[in-house]
């Protein structure tokens, strides 16, 4: 059963968010179906199970990183992207994609 509730941020009563749970332990935002971060659970008073929420969030982040790395692998960069990177970091500079670990020498 899906339980949906609206929570109000404790530090700013004007900010509210809607979250749902299907198991009473892990809460997700109704706007994007992503797990609520523990900080948000605390700020909004969302009654999540810390261990279950942490595990669900970690799994979700691991999947997102794997998908990103897969999509980037072998894609290369357009001439426009390289030009933008050179303008930002300088010709000859090696930069590293912090998520995938890909190194690019400009």
Q: What tens digit of pLDDT does each residue of 30-76 get?
A: 989 999 999 988 888 889 999 999 999 999 999 999 998 888 887 88
At a CB cut-off of 8 Å and minimum separation 6, what does 95 contact? 85, 89, 103, 104, 106
Long-range contacts of 28-31, Cβ-Cβ distance < 8 Å, separation of 24 or more:
30/4
Residue 9 has pLDDT above 90, yes or no: no
Residue 28: which pLDDT band, with cuts at 50, 70 and 90? very high
What mean pLDDT do residues 81-86 have? 93
Query: Tokens in use for 4?
Result: 């949906």
Backbone angles phi, psi at 39, to 5 degrees: -60, -40
CA distance 53 to 16: 20
What distance in Å separates the CA atoms of residue 95 and residue 66, rounded to the nearest whole number? 20
Q: What is the pTM of this model?
A: 0.68
pLDDT for 77 equals 87
Residue 14 has pLDDT above 70, yes or no: no
Which pLDDT does position 75 carry in this prediction? 82
Q: First and final CA of the chain: distance in angstroms?
A: 53
């Amino acid at each position: 059963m899906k339980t949906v509730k609206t929570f109000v941020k404790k530090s700013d009563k004007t900010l509210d968010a809607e979250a749902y749970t299907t198991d009473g332990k892990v809460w997700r935002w109704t706007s994007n179906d992503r797990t609520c971060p523990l900080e948000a659970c605390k700020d909004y008073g969302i009654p999540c199970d810390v261990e279950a929420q942490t595990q669900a969030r970690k799994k979700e982040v691991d999947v997102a990183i794997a998908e990103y790395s897969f999509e980037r692998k072998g894609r290369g960069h357009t001439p426009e992207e390289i030009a933008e990177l050179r303008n930002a970091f300088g010709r000859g500079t090696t930069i590293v994609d912090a998520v995938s670990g890909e190194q690019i020498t400009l």
